[in-house]
């Protein structure tokens, strides 16, 4: 599960683990909720090129409630991510667990 606003603490993690949940959070925030600026949102994806941590993937944060995100950012992002040879997979694939209990 993704914690609301991405916020959690050690107690929340312990309770969720006890209940059998895995916590998944994003590492790439487009800030579409803040700026509504297509150029700024694209730059979040372009930061992937600067990643020197050896990360083999990213989990991005976008919000489908914004027309610009749905109509401009997502189509552009799909093409961009594919051009960088990333694959789209589910969160459960990323962490190796079954998606439903």
pLDDT tens, residue by residue, 41-70: 888 888 887 776 766 788 888 888 878 888
Threshold 0.75, pTM exceeds: yes
Decide: 92 and 59 in contact? Cβ < 8 Å.
no
- The pLDDT, as a whole number, for residue 64 is 82
Cβ neighbour number for residue 67 with a 10 Å cutoff: 9
Instruction: Tell me the domain boundaries of the chain.
Output: 26-95
Q: What is the pLDDT of residues 18-43, one digit of tens each?
A: 998 999 999 888 888 887 788 888 88
Confidence of residue 99 (pLDDT cuts 50, 70, 90): confident
Residue 80 pLDDT exceeds 90: yes
């Amino acid at each position: 599960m993704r914690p609301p606003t991405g916020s959690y603490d050690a107690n929340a993690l312990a309770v969720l683990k006890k209940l059998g949940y895995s916590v998944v959070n994003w590492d790439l925030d487009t800030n579409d909720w803040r700026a509504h600026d297509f150029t700024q949102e694209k730059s979040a994806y372009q930061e992937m090129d600067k990643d020197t941590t050896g990360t083999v993937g990213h989990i991005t944060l976008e919000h489908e409630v914004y027309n610009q995100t749905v109509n401009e950012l997502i189509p552009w992002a799909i093409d961009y991510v594919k051009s960088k040879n990333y694959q789209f997979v589910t969160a459960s694939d990323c962490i190796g667990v079954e998606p439903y209990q």
